[in-house]
Structure 1
Amino acid sequence: MNVEKTFLKTFLKNFEEEAFAVDFWDGEEVVLGKGEPQFRVHIRKPLNKKDLLSSTSLAFGEAYMNGDVEFEGDLFLALNTVLKYMNKFNSDHKALPEIFHKITNKSKQREEVSSHYDIGNDFYSLWLDETMSYSCGYFKNENDTLYQAQMNKIHHILKKLNLKEGQSLLDIGCGWGMLLIEAAKKYKVKGLGITLSQEQFNKFSERIKEENLEDYLEVKLMDYRDLKKSKLSFDRVVSVGMLEHVGRPNYELFFEAVNAVLKDGGVFLLHYISGIKESEGDAWIKKYIFPGGVIPSLREIINISGDYNYHVIDVESLRLHYTKTLLEWYKNFNNNIDKVKEMFDERFIRMWSMYLCSCAATFNNGIIDLHQIVFTKGINNSLPITRKYLYED
């Protein structure tokens, strides 16, 4: 028996409580667990032992992208089962310096953000909802559509910000702009969105004109670090799904930027993917999906906020909402697969399927979380003292 096969069979012992089957390249079958296998894994070529020791997820992820590993059955079910044991995976960060780099300067981060968000608005519009919201939805009801969940999320955030007519709102990492559009239409606030993505800037600029909101909204191609010297000032600041791109060395810099533009007593809502503990992240995700991305822990962000005299008013986990959101995206992606195939090759399609399903599985298993934190800059005694207002129409 060759060394790769021996290593893989040893690794499979981690999953003995789960019912699935594995077919090796030489025709040998291994059946794990009891009862009928829930899915089948075909390993069509040996996987390099050194690669598996450097990063299990990267080795398997690339093998899946190349068609050397195939899952027969529901992809989410398979990944949800396997990633339950992610603490058994190998991850040697020192062996992959080109992936786990510490470069967080402006030009590098602009390049990394563009590599993901500038794939093309036509592509994202195939599987996102009409709002073009690329972040966790909020499912008030089990049968909410993706569009309803995203609108729920937007209005949930706007309520948490406790907006009043005439106030000013900054959205750091504004995406395609739907949150600010709703804020302007419902609360008559003046808003600025900043992004590093040219595609998002272009689309948001179009939307502002289409909605006749030129007197209320503006979007800029701008790095958050430039806020400190901008001399801008806002009553409210929101950031949705952007902190993950900042990098651990820059978390304090991010708070300094927010602090420079938020008025005393102002409200800051931070919505981001979080971890229980500080981590450098997953090699496959960092190489293929979010280069340079790092998931902050809840505790480190709250710890930093105290240094700036930011008071924590509310913390909410939307972890299971993100599982549902990702599965809705995956369903839309599959429903439009013929159009996707006109844009991208098979390797990209397999990569994106792995991305959506593996992320859904990691949220489902609590490997990562999604938190919304509401802060005030110093003391603000004018906010409601209960959460009742969040759930009133």
Structure 2
Amino acid sequence: MTTDVSVKLTIADALGKLMKDGIPFRFEAFDGSSAGPVDASFTLRLLNERGLSYLMTAPGDLGFARAYVAGDLALEGIHPGNPYDAMVLLMSQLKFKVPTAPEMVQIVRSLGFGNLKPPTPPAEEHLPKWRRALEGLRHSRKRDAEVIHHHYDVSNRFYELVLGESMTYTCAVYPTLESTLEEAQFAKYDLIARKLDLQPGQRLLDIGCGWGGMVRHAAKHYGVKALGVTLSREQAAWAQEEIKRQGLDHLAEVRFLDYRDVTETDFDAVSSIGLTEHIGVKQYDEYFGFLHDKLKVGGRLLNHCITRPSNKTTTTGAFIDRYVFPDGELTGVGRIQVAVQDAGLEVRHVENLREHYAMTLKGWCDNLVENWDECLEEVTLGRAKVWGIYMARIAARLRAQRDELHHVLAVKADEHGDASWPLRPTWGS
């Protein structure tokens, strides 16, 4: 059938032309048009011209995020703190098709050429990559500090409300399906401590320590002298205060410091929990080489990070890059193991905690919903919406095995191959 480009489409009609299998949700636009099932579980409501311009100038998740964060695209029927059901439906049923050239001309003419001028992005959006390049090379010290500041130095109180008592922003380990988030975070730290075989009097280096959860756990429960470093000034200040409050300052310390500036060596163990995502795949060899040099012979390394099912280097997507983890990169666990081995460490155990991370994210979303009003006293509505959609989206990706989360446990053997390793794992489940 020939497309008559002179026929003007409504916004809903134009959206329908881009859908391969129809619109799986209810859609309503400011021009009065609508589409999709009337009994859908949620409704996407496009409120104004600016929202339309966001969608037209950045098709995909970036345009959606801009319109949603700015308040020009409303998600009705689902709490903004936990839009998990919407993310699952959009990921599983939303399928786009490539329009023909005449169809594209008809769509653009109908929606207005003026809407191809990009509006100013919401304040919550970070700089595009080309602008970040003006701040320094990718994963340079200056640029790493800036992107960490963008995500983590928001409000410690906001993080307390979302993350819970443990102030832990990494995947938990659930002993049972009924375990609470706090129980699961304790179990995660304890599992890592046992995998590292921590003993009283030993020294632990925790790279990218966040608010110091692993540092405090190792000191309090294992009698370990623990040093944590983070690029977030707010995290370091909170962590040091909590260390003193718990009377652990004779064993535990958190520094506001780039990990590359740690001068101490001969650690019995090194933990890297949720930092590899920020390092950059091209920096893996240097990173794991640095950790190798920090360990004494017989020392262990535990690397905990989000991974992809494929070992091909992948970016995190436009939404995550602009709103959540600028410059973040993910790849498969195989690529991580190669880098660990090439650094001279021996990989002894690998574990996938994919389902545990989906459960962790659900716990954070539940906290965000429960504390929504107080969260809005700490951050903008746009920032809170970013968190809701980001956490729900990653949870949905984990459930669908589009993302994973792995522990890689390695040891620094001596020159004769003696790794001081037991015949069977001793850390249990």
TM-score range (shorter-chain normalised) is 0.7 to 0.9
Match of 2:261 in 1: 226
- Structure-to-structure mapping, 1:152-191, within 5 angstroms: 152-191=187-226
Does residue 369 of structure 1 match 2:401?
no
CA distance in 1 between counterparts of 2:60 and 2:238 reads 38
1:347 to 1:85, Cα distance in 2 relative to 1, 3 A: same
In 1, Cα distance between equivalents of 2:193 and 2:425: 13
Matched, 1:389 2:389: no
**Aligned counterpart in structure 2 of residue 84 of structure 1, from 62, 82, 92:** 92
Instruction: Report deviation, 1:89.
Output: 9.9
1:304-343 residue pairs with structure 2 within 5 A? Answer: 304-343=339-378
The one-letter code of the counterpart of 1:187 is Y
Give the 3 Å change call, closer, same or farther, for CA 71–133 of structure 1 in structure 2: same
Provide the residue aligned with 1:355 in structure 2: 390
Structure 1: runs of 5 or more not aligned: 91-95
Please state how far the C-alpha of 1:28 moved relative to its aligned partner: 3.0
Residues 89, 280 of structure 1: CA spacing in aligned structure 2 closer, same or farther, 3 A cutoff? Answer: farther
What does residue 254 of structure 1 align with? 287
CA 380–193 in structure 1, closer or farther in 2 if over 3 Å, else same: farther
From the superposition, tell whether residues 30 and 322 of structure 1 become closer, same or farther in structure 2 (CA, over 3 Å): same
- Alpha carbons of 1:99 and 1:60: their partners in 2 closer, same or farther (altered >3 Å)? farther
Among 212, 235, 241, which residue is 2:274 paired with? 241
Counterpart contact for 1:15–1:82, Cα < 8 Å: no
How far apart are the structure 2 equivalents of 1:245 and 1:111? Answer: 12
Evaluate the alpha carbon distance shift between residue 351 and residue 389 of structure 1 in structure 2; reply closer, same or farther with a 3 A threshold.
Answer: closer
Q: Deviations over 1:306-339 (max 9, x none)?
A: 2122222111111121111112111111211221
Larger Rg: 2
1:28 aligns with 2:63: no
Asked if the contact 1:235–1:267 (Cα under 8 Å) also holds between the matched residues in 2, the reply is: yes
TM superposition shift of 1:87: 8.9
CA distance in 1, matches of 2:373, 2:73: 23
Query: Match for 1:13: what amino acid?
Result: K
Tell me the distance in 2 between the aligned counterparts of 1:121 and 1:387.
Answer: 37
Number of equivalenced pairs: 380
* TM-superposed deviation, 1:356: 2.0
Q: What is the SS of the residue equivalent to 1:389?
A: coil
2:41 pairs with 1:41? no
1:343 counterpart SS class: coil
Deviation track 1:284-303 (CA, whole Å, cap 9, x = no partner) reads 11111112222232122112
- What is the alpha-carbon root mean square deviation over aligned residues? 2.7
1:117-128 correspondence runs (5 A) = 117-128=152-163
Q: Which amino acid aligns with 1:41?
A: L
Partner of 2:19: 12
TM-score of the aligned structures, taking structure 2 as reference length: 0.81
Give per-residue Cα distances to partners, 1:227-271, cap 9 Å, x unaligned. 3xx142201000111111112232222112101211122110000
Partner of 2:229: 194
Contact 1:239 1:269 in 2 (8 A): yes
Q: Distance in 2 between matches of 1:351 and 1:308?
A: 37
Structure 1 residues 3 and 56: alpha-carbon distance in aligned structure 2, compared to 1, 3 A threshold:
farther
The Cα shift of 1:21 comes to 2.6
Q: CA-to-partner distance for each residue in 1:103-159, whole Å, 9 max, x for gaps?
A: 211011111111111112111111212111111111111111111111111111111
Secondary structure in structure 2 of the residue aligned to 1:254: helix
8 Å contact from structure 1 (residues 3, 49) kept in 2: no
Tell me if the contact between 1:100 and 1:292 (Cα under 8 Å) persists in the aligned partners: no
Distance in 1 (alpha carbons) for counterparts of 2:336 and 2:309:
11
Identity percentage of aligned residues: 31
What CA deviation, in whole Å up to 9, does each residue of 1:139-197 have, x standing for no partner? 11111111111111111111111112221110001111121211112221111111111
Question: 1 CA distance for matches of 2:386 and 2:97?
Answer: 19
| Structure 2: gaps (5+ residues) | 1-7, 99-127
Name the amino acid aligned to 1:249.
Answer: K
Give the whole-Å Cα distance in 1 for the aligned partners of 2:355 and 2:97. 23
